[in-house]
Structures are given as structure tokens and as C-alpha cells.
């Protein structure tokens, strides 16, 4: 079986701004994220991003906006020779509808575990919110809570 590291997006991969990040101009990669992902790749972890994007449901931005931002983000990773297996996103918001994919729900993690034959006991979810850690626990994955915008290099070095 494979092992993986799942990353929350806003606050872990890119700067948490305190507002929705859906414009490329507002997207800033956090310090250490490239080094962290390279370390994990060298240890044969598959890399995934799991992100709630409730602004879609609320009409703040569109799926097209998110897809453009994610295309930009993935191009930055490609330039750094980092492979992201897949980005899983939930477009729902609890104010508008209920779903199983919005963190702390674990459906998106569970999909990745099944599709990519991942051992949850050898895998991690790095997030900056309690809902990230709850989603990890609900899927049987080890959760690691970090501060928003923290350099996670030392944490990744220890995995």
C-alpha cells in the first residue's frame, strides 16, 4: 500500500488572509512548502490537497475561479519538480447545504485512500484548523495541527 500526506490549502500551502483566496494575485505560497513537499516526495509519500471552498456555494466566487487558481498553484509545484497527485475540493458551505465532503467530513480523504491504495495508518493530514484534524481522524489518518502560515519543514522532516 502507498503512504500519503494530505495538506489543507489555505493557511498550510498558501497564506491565510482572513478572507477567501480565489484570485491569483492574492495567492502567496507559504515559506518552506516547496522544501517540505520535496522532503516528503523523497520519502515516497504521495501528496494531496484537501480544501473546503465554501465561497462557491455562497456565490462569492465560481468553480472556474478555483480551477484557474489551482492550475496556477500546480504550475508553481511543477516548476519546483513537485508532483501533487490530486486536489480534492468541497464546493459546499454548511449555511447552504449539508454534505459529506466538507471537512470535518472525511469523504474526500476516504476517496483518495481508496483510489490510490493508501494505508491510512502510514499517512498524515497537515492542517491549521480543528476541522482538518477531525477529518483526518474520521478517515483513520494521523492529523497534525499547525499554526496558520507556519513553515512546516521541520514537521515534514520528522515524518
Where are the chain's structural domains?
3-157
With cell 466566487, the residue in question is: 61
User: What is the set of active-site residues?
Assistant: 8, 10
Please indicate, yes or no, whether the overall pTM of this predicted structure exceeds 0.85: yes
Task: Round the average pLDDT of the chain to a whole number and report it.
Answer: 96
List the grid coordinates of 50: 484537501
Q: What is the pLDDT of residue 95?
A: 82
**Helix locations, the chain, DSSP H:** 33-42, 63-79, 107-115, 130-139, 153-157
With cell 480534492, the residue in question is: 88
Q: Which CATH superfamily is domain 3-157 in?
A: HAD superfamily/HAD-like (3.40.50.1000)
The CA angle 23-26-28, to the nearest 5 degrees, is 125
Q: What is the pLDDT of residue 118?
A: 98
Amino acid at each position: 500500500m502507498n503512504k500519503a500526506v494530505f495538506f489543507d490549502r489555505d493557511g498550510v500551502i498558501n497564506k491565510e488572509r482572513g478572507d477567501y483566496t480565489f484570485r491569483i494575485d492574492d495567492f502567496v505560497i507559504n515559506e518552506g512548502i516547496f522544501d517540505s513537499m520535496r522532503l516528503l516526495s523523497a520519502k515516497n509519500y504521495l501528496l494531496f490537497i484537501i480544501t473546503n471552498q465554501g465561497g462557491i456555494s455562497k456565490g462569492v466566487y465560481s468553480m472556474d475561479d478555483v480551477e484557474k487558481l489551482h492550475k496556477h498553484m500546480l504550475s508553481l509545484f511543477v516548476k519546483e519538480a513537485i508532483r501533487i497527485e490530486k486536489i480534492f475540493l468541497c464546493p459546499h458551505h454548511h449555511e447552504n447545504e449539508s454534505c459529506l465532503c466538507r471537512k470535518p467530513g472525511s469523504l474526500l480523504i476516504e476517496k483518495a485512500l481508496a483510489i490510490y491504495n493508501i494505508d491510512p495508518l502510514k499517512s498524515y493530514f497537515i492542517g491549521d484548523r480543528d476541522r482538518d484534524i477531525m477529518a483526518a481522524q474520521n478517515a483513520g489518518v494521523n492529523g497534525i495541527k499547525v499554526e496558520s502560515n507556519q513553515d512546516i519543514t521541520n514537521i515534514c522532516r520528522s515524518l
